[in-house]
């Protein structure tokens, strides 16, 4: 379905030069001289890169249907990740390139979200917050916590994050998957 610049809304997905983009913000501009135009800030759905683009008023674009599907992560095997659709119990296998950075936050039986633009699978998104066990970190020494320093810790999925000095091996941590930030000890 084709939409015009007059139909732009924040969050709407459109095709530009064969690539899906999501409109972050837009502004209709009517200068005193010349034709009206629309200034937009759009995010490339595949890469996440944000671009500033300008279009003539009334220009038409194809709308993209964005969908999300909740799946359960079952297990990984070398470069393959196995998921199950929780509604149909259908299993699907994805390669590591498609899973991307979400792989370092997935542990068995955790929920994840598949992102689709039309019929094209864009990638996998882990839950916003996950609870993971620390498998390796340096021991904290008495007095280390005074300055509020941090140290690296390896989690059960292989991800390495920065944690406070009082965290030790075996602790379970709540982590924000958007930026890999330590939230709290569980």
Instruction: Find the CATH number of the domain harbouring 164.
Output: 2.40.50.140
Name the residue range of residue 90's domain.
67-126
Look at residue 146 in the predicted model and tell me its pLDDT.
Answer: 56
3-state secondary structure of 74: strand
Instruction: Pick the last residue of a domain from 126, 151, 168.
Output: 126
Q: Give the DSSP per-residue string, 87-98.
A: TT--EEEEEHHH
Look at residue 142 in the predicted model and tell me its pLDDT.
Answer: 60
**Residue 79 and residue 44 in one domain:** no
**Residue 94 and residue 42 in one domain:** no
Q: Retrieve residue 159's tokens.
A: 């991800």
**Residue 106 and residue 158 in one domain:** no
**Residue 155 and residue 104 in one domain:** no
Would you give per-residue pLDDT tens digits along the chain (186 residues)?
789 999 999 888 899 998 889 899 999 999 888 899 999 999 888 777 899 999 999 999 999 888 889 999 999 988 899 999 989 999 999 998 888 888 899 999 999 999 888 788 888 889 999 999 999 988 866 655 556 678 899 999 999 999 988 888 999 999 998 888 999 998
CB 40 within 8 A of CB 21: no
Pick from 63, 97, 104: nearest CA to 80? 97
């Amino acid at each position: 379905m084709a939409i015009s610049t007059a139909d732009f809304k924040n969050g709407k997905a459109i095709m530009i030069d064969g690539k899906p983009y999501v409109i972050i913000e837009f502004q209709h501009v009517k200068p005193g001289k010349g034709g009206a135009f629309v200034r937009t800030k759009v995010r490339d759905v595949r890469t996440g890169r944000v671009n500033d683009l300008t279009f003539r008023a009334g220009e038409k674009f194809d709308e993209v249907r964005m969908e999300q599907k909740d799946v359960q992560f079952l297990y990984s095997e070398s470069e393959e990740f196995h998921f199950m659709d929780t509604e149909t119990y259908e299993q699907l296998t994805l390669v590591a390139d498609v899973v991307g950075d979400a792989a370092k936050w997935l542990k068995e039986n955790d929920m994840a979200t598949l992102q689709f633009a039309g019929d094209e699978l864009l990638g996998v998104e882990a839950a916003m917050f996950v609870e993971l066990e620390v498998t390796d970190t340096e021991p904290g020494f008495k007095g280390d916590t005074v300055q509020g320093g941090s140290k690296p810790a390896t989690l059960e999925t292989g991800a390495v994050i920065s944690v406070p000095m009082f965290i030790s091996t075996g602790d379970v941590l709540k982590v924000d998957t958007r930026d890999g930030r330590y939230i709290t000890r569980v």
